Chains A and B, each alone.
Chain A
Amino acid sequence: MSAAILTNTKDNVATATMRLNKDDIISLKAGDHEISVRVMQEIPSGHKLAIRNIRKGEAVIKYGEIIGLATCEIHQGEHVHVHNIEGLRGRGDKK
Chain B
Amino acid sequence: MNFQGYPRQNGTVGIRNHVLVFPTVICSSEVARMISQAVPGTVYVAHPHGCGHLGVEKEHIIRTMGGFCSNPNIAAVLLVGNGCELISTEVLAEELKKNRQRFEIVNVQDEGGTTGAVEKGKSLAEHLKYEAQEAKRISCGISELIIGVKCGGSDTLSGLTANPAVGYTADLVVSHGGTVLISEVPEMLGAEHVLARRARNRDTADRILQITSTMEKKILETGVDIRGTEPSPGNIEGGLSTLEEKSLGAILKGGSTPVQQVVQYAERPSEKGLVIMDGPALDAVVNTGMVAAGAQIIVFTTGRGTPLGSPVAPVIKVSSNTQLYQKMKDNIDINAGGIVDGSGNLVSVGEKIFHEILEVASGKLTRSEILGHSEFAIHNIGPAV
Report which A residues bind B (CB closer than 8 A).
Answer: 1-2, 5, 7, 15-17, 44-48, 62-63, 65-68, 80-82, 85-93
Q: Which of B238, B242, B249 contacts A87 (CB 8 A)?
A: B242
Q: Which of B216, B220, B241 contacts A82 (CB 8 A)?
A: B241
Given A1-B342, A47-B156, A48-B156, A89-B238 contact (CB < 8 Å): no
For A5, the chain B residues whose CB sits under 8 A away are 160, 340
Binding site of A, secondary structure by majority: helix, strand, loop or mixed?
A: loop
Q: Of residues 332 to 382 in B, which have CB atoms within 8 Å of A's CB atoms?
A: 340-342
Q: Is residue B135 contacting chain A, with contact meaning CB distance below 8 A?
A: no
For A1, the chain B residues whose CB sits under 8 A away are 340-342
Given A87-B241, A90-B216, A7-B227 contact (CB < 8 Å): no
**18 A–B contacts from the bound complex (CB under 8 Å):** A5-B340, A7-B160, A16-B239, A44-B239, A46-B238, A48-B156, A62-B245, A62-B248, A63-B249, A68-B242, A87-B243, A88-B190, A89-B189, A89-B243, A90-B219, A90-B230, A91-B226, A92-B227
- Please report the C-alpha to C-alpha distance between residue A86 and residue B239 in the assembled complex, in whole angstroms: 13
- A81 near B227: Cβ-Cβ < 8 Å: no
Given A44-B239, A47-B239, A85-B241, A90-B157 contact (CB < 8 Å): no
- A68 near B245: Cβ-Cβ < 8 Å: yes
Q: Is residue B385 contacting chain A, with contact meaning CB distance below 8 A?
A: no
Q: Is residue B224 contacting chain A, with contact meaning CB distance below 8 A?
A: yes
Q: Is residue B275 contacting chain A, with contact meaning CB distance below 8 A?
A: no
Q: In the complex, how many angstroms separate the beta carbon of B239 from the nearest chain A beta carbon?
A: 4
For B243, the chain A residues whose CB sits under 8 A away are 87, 89-90
Given A63-B249, A92-B219, 13 other A-B residues pairs in contact with their CB atoms under 8 A: A1-B340, A15-B239, A16-B239, A48-B156, A62-B248, A65-B191, A68-B241, A68-B242, A81-B236, A88-B244, A89-B242, A92-B225, A92-B227
Q: In the complex, how many angstroms separate the beta carbon of A79 from the nearest chain B beta carbon?
A: 10
Q: Is residue B55 contacting chain A, with contact meaning CB distance below 8 A?
A: no
In the complex, the chain B residue whose C-beta lies closest to that of A2 is B340
- Please report the C-alpha to C-alpha distance between residue A18 and residue B252 in the assembled complex, in whole angstroms: 22
- Please report the C-alpha to C-alpha distance between residue A46 and residue B186 in the assembled complex, in whole angstroms: 22
Given A17-B157, A82-B236, A90-B225 contact (CB < 8 Å): yes
- A91 near B160: Cβ-Cβ < 8 Å: no
Band of interface residues on B: 35 or more
- A67 near B194: Cβ-Cβ < 8 Å: no
Q: Is residue B155 contacting chain A, with contact meaning CB distance below 8 A?
A: yes
- A92 near B342: Cβ-Cβ < 8 Å: no
- B190 near A89: Cβ-Cβ < 8 Å: yes
- Please report the C-alpha to C-alpha distance between residue A65 and residue B189 in the assembled complex, in whole angstroms: 13
- Please report the C-alpha to C-alpha distance between residue A16 and residue B160 in the assembled complex, in whole angstroms: 11
For B148, the chain A residues whose CB sits under 8 A away are none
Q: Which of A16, A65, A85, A91 contacts B227 (CB 8 A)?
A: A91
Report which B residues bind A (CB closer than 8 A).
Answer: 155-157, 159-160, 186, 189-191, 194, 216, 219-220, 222-227, 230, 236, 238-239, 241-245, 248-249, 252, 303, 340-342
For B160, the chain A residues whose CB sits under 8 A away are 5, 7, 15, 17
Given A5-B160, A17-B157, A85-B225 contact (CB < 8 Å): no
- B156 near A85: Cβ-Cβ < 8 Å: no
- A66 near B244: Cβ-Cβ < 8 Å: yes
For B189, the chain A residues whose CB sits under 8 A away are 89-90
For B194, the chain A residues whose CB sits under 8 A away are 65
- Please report the C-alpha to C-alpha distance between residue A2 and residue B230 in the assembled complex, in whole angstroms: 29
- Please report the C-alpha to C-alpha distance between residue A82 and residue B245 in the assembled complex, in whole angstroms: 12
For B303, the chain A residues whose CB sits under 8 A away are 46
Give the 6 A-B CB pairs with smallest separation, nearest first: A87-B242, A90-B226, A92-B225, A46-B239, A47-B239, A67-B245
- Please report the C-alpha to C-alpha distance between residue A5 and residue B340 in the assembled complex, in whole angstroms: 8
- Please report the C-alpha to C-alpha distance between residue A47 and residue B156 in the assembled complex, in whole angstroms: 7
Q: In the complex, how many angstroms separate the beta carbon of A68 from the nearest chain B beta carbon?
A: 4
Q: Which of B155, B186, B226, B244 contacts A67 (CB 8 A)?
A: B244
- Please report the C-alpha to C-alpha distance between residue A7 and residue B251 in the assembled complex, in whole angstroms: 14
For A91, the chain B residues whose CB sits under 8 A away are 220, 225-227
Q: In the complex, how many angstroms separate the beta carbon of B54 from the nearest chain A beta carbon?
A: 27
- Please report the C-alpha to C-alpha distance between residue A41 and residue B208 in the assembled complex, in whole angstroms: 40
- Please report the C-alpha to C-alpha distance between residue A2 and residue B236 in the assembled complex, in whole angstroms: 22
Given A67-B244, A90-B226, A91-B225, A15-B156 contact (CB < 8 Å): yes
